[in-house]
Structure 1
Amino acid sequence: MNNDSFAALLAAKGLTVDDRQLEQFNRYFQLLVEWNERMNLTGITERDAVYEKHFYDSVALSFVTDMSATSSLADIGSGAGFPSLPLKICFPHLKVTIVDSLNKRIQFLQHVAAELGLEGVTCVHGRAEDIARQKEHRDRYDLVTARAVARLAALNELCLPFARTGGLFAAMKGTDPAEELEEAGRSLRELKGKVRRIVPMQLPLEQSERHVILIDKLAATPRAYPRKAGTPVKQPLL
């Protein structure tokens, strides 16, 4: 996929990117492939696939949320920087905080942000359960994202504590999340979240299924949450 075809895919959704932004995506792709040779960042390294399954898929969040009204974003368990860094490239005004438990990945993300000249990107090494207890991160962010991290019942406890009251948590999923939603009722109640809507999408070329679950944060996080590191995934609120 060349720059023109990627730009055309985004333009079809009303998103315009300039030459500098396209070059940032190009450099991001190069760094992803380079670093992937010495650490496991992604199983997808072919250019067309990276651009569609990582870059486009990440930016697709902007098709269903108002990024112009979003100033701060927290990306929980970001891995190789998805969806936050592609969103940051397209929407430079975003103040991005990335939380990841693996220090090697944090080093990669810091390097990418520096190489691409992305300002306002903070990379935090630690478990989401611990970081969400810190005053500077708790109940703070306009938008919280997580992409393919855990089932929703666990994910709500990992992510909703970062969202401010009136903010939004966007859980990015693959196939139909109906079963996950059914089992997540208690965690939504406990963590003060309410599903706004579930948006089905398709990748433009491969046509594979995607779903974004948009969850409103109704009130401040109760003091009991999140529980200690590891507990939300091992013993989700069911």
Structure 2
Amino acid sequence: MKLPTFEDTWQNSLQWQPTEKQLEKWEQLYQEILLINRQINLTRITDPQDFWEKHLWDSLAGVIGLDFLPYKDSLKVIDIGTGAGFPGLPISIIFPHWQLSLLDSTQKKIKVINLFLDALKLSNCQTVIGRAEDIGHLQQHRETYDLGLIRAVGEPSVCAEYVLPFLKVGGIGVLYRGNWTKAEESNLQTALKQLGGKIILVKQFQTPLTQSVRHFIYLKKVISTPRQFPRSVGIPKQKPL
């Protein structure tokens, strides 16, 4: 199986196109994932078109075409709960001058991602094993990132509590979501008052192949996050702000 390239679809949906070299890297990543998936269940999304839409397009739709991101700078980025390496890996291929940390609490997944980094020679990525609630308090990670990425792991306020402590003041957090409701937005606004952030943009997309609804919520860190956040492991999910 080979990945479709969908150059026109990239252009039509995001007004952007990957280079030949980037397409080759994505194909290599896809083949590596197919290979490893025979041994461990890394991702259930292995059909070429599904993989393209749910892993490649979705990953990049969250970070492309934003007038508040200084793309040419060497941004320091963290992907929280990276799983099989998304959205971090496709982004690292597009922006080789960015420095990415791929964080996950599952050692098996991190081991596999390290294999991918070696195979694809992605020198701008490092992996971090741990829970966001713990790692977010470590000096080398707290308030050191320009950009934080988090795919839906629960309540938006929970995602915000995970991501905001990692960001510098002025840094941007991106919440990757499916549906988005007024109630969720209201709850998030309440949490952000405690965490030192604000919503600066909500972008809605239809995915290009299946016309599924996607939302990307962009948070800006305006003041330092109080030291008590993130709360201890499990508490953010059990008792959302």
Give me the TM-score of the superposition, normalised by structure 1. Answer: 0.93
RMSD, matched Cα: 1.7
- Residue of structure 2 aligned with 1:209, choices 209, 213, 218: 213
For the residue of structure 2 that corresponds to 1:73, the secondary structure is strand
Alignment match, 1:10: 10
- Counterpart in the other structure of 1:229: 233
Match of 2:132 among 124, 128, 134: 128
Q: Is the 8 A contact 1:106 1:125 kept in 2?
A: yes
Any residues of structure 2 matched to 1:109-128 within 5 Å, and which? 109-128=113-132
The answer on whether the counterparts of 1:70 and 1:143 sit within 8 Å (CA) in structure 2 is no
Output the amino acid matched with 1:198.
V
Q: What amino acid maps onto 2:10 in structure 1? A: L
Distance between the aligned counterparts of 1:187 and 1:64, measured in 2? 27
Report the Cα distance in structure 1 between the residues aligned to 2:104 and 2:156, rounded to whole angstroms. Answer: 18
Task: Go from structure 1 to structure 2 and tell me whether the alpha carbon gap of 1:127 and 1:3 turns closer, same or farther (over 3 Å shift).
Answer: closer
**In the TM superposition, what are the counterparts of 1:95-106 in structure 2 within 5 Å?**
95-106=99-110
TM superposition shift of 1:189: 0.9
* TM-score (norm. length: structure 2): 0.92
**1:23 matches 2:28:** no
Q: Counterparts of 2:51 and 2:168 in 1: how far apart (Å)? A: 32
- CA drift of 1:63 comes to 2.6
* Superposition deviation, residue 64 in structure 1: 4.2
State the alpha-carbon separation in 2 of the partners of residues 129 and 168 from structure 1: 19
Q: Tell me the distance in 1 between the aligned counterparts of 2:4 and 2:49.
A: 13
Aligned residue for 1:143, secondary structure, equals strand
The AA in structure 2 aligned to 1:91 is F
After TM superposition, give the deviation of residue 3 of structure 1 in Å: 6.1
Report the Cα offset of residue 208 of structure 1: 0.7
Matched with 2:57 is: 56
Q: Is the 8 A contact 1:70 1:142 kept in 2?
A: no
Report the equivalent of 1:183.
Answer: 187
Percentage of matched positions with identical amino acids? 35
The answer to whether the 8 A contact 2:169-2:223 is kept is yes
Q: Per the alignment, do residues 157 and 109 of structure 1 end up closer, same or farther by CA in structure 2, a change over 3 Å counting?
A: same
Query: Structure 2, unaligned stretches of length 5 or more?
Result: none
- Worse-superposed segment, 165-174 or 113-122: 113-122
Whole-angstrom CA distance in 1 between matches of 2:7 and 2:106? 32
Cα drift, residue 38 of structure 1? 2.6
Distance 1:116 1:141 in 2: 24
1:69: how far off?
A: 4.5
Q: Distance in 2 between matches of 1:52 and 1:209?
A: 12
Q: How many residues of Structure 1 are paired with residues of Structure 2 in the alignment?
A: 237
